[in-house]
Amino acid sequence: MRLYSWNVNGFRAVVQKGFWDWFAACDGDVICLQETKATWEQVPEKHRTVKGYEVIWNGAGTKKGYSGVACFTRNAPQSWSQGLPDARYQGEGRTLLLEYEEFYLFNIYFPNGQMSQERLDYKMGFYDAFLEYAERLRQTKPIVVCGDLNTAHREIDLKNPKANADRSGFLPQERAWVDTFLSYGYHDTFRMFTAEGGQYSWWTYRFNARARNAGWRIDYFFVSDELKNRVKRAWIEDSVYGSDHCPVGLELDAR
């Protein structure tokens, strides 16, 4: 099973930048998008249906052109839902949960904490509410999590760790939460195969950052321990353009 995750920084924009060519070539079984910045009604009719895929959308953001996640899945899930159970973290269109026969799949656009202390607190609370929910679901099935975590975990996950030590996205408490998450028995699938740094999934549009590969790895696939032995490969498609992020991928062996 081949899965992809991509923060597209605006679905209506990325479809004008070769998205469907990439989509056709990637041959994904599930393609998860974040930061779609559109409600279902705002998506042009010609982009609402894809042959061979069920399209699932959560664009329930509190502001127009903000947040949003979507999934394209070849196999219809047994069930799906929007948002986290905690009402404090609903209403921004950040989460889709798809239930398949063998696992639950979270597609999440985690909050960014750079705007203010209030948003940083919201981000940390969102992290905790997500983990609590994942652990509850994990009692019945394994978990796959993908999306834009908005945190680089280790120094090798960004080009300039010292210069960004005081910036949300690489703060000690954010990195410590990732440590905590992994301690519950989740695995950063990319790091199962690649130990060295220098591969990133996001580059600011400023300062010619992508050409210089001055990036951050903030887009992930995680699996719970029950699926670890089924992870065949995980990768970053840093040659794919169309957004300030690039796609990341995961392949799971059949059981």
- Provide the annotated active-site residues: 148
How far apart CA 18 and CA 247 sit, in angstroms, is 13
DSSP for 165-233, please give it: TTSTTS-HHHHHHHHHHHHTTEEEGGGGT--SS---SB--SSTTTTTTT--B--EEEEEEGGGGGGEEE
End-to-end CA distance of the chain: 10
Instruction: Count other Cβ atoms within 10 Å, centred on residue 78.
Output: 11
Helix 172-183 to helix 117-138 angle (10° resolution) is 0
How far apart CA 32 and CA 220 sit, in angstroms, is 11
Using the structure block, give the residue that is written with the tokens 């903030």.
218
Distances 40 to 43, 48, 57, 61, 64 between C-alpha atoms, Å: 5, 8, 7, 11, 12
How far apart CA 138 and CA 141 sit, in angstroms, is 5
Is residue 69 within a helix (H) or strand (E), and if so which, with residue range? Answer: strand 69-73
Decide if 114 contacts 168 (C-beta within 8 A).
yes
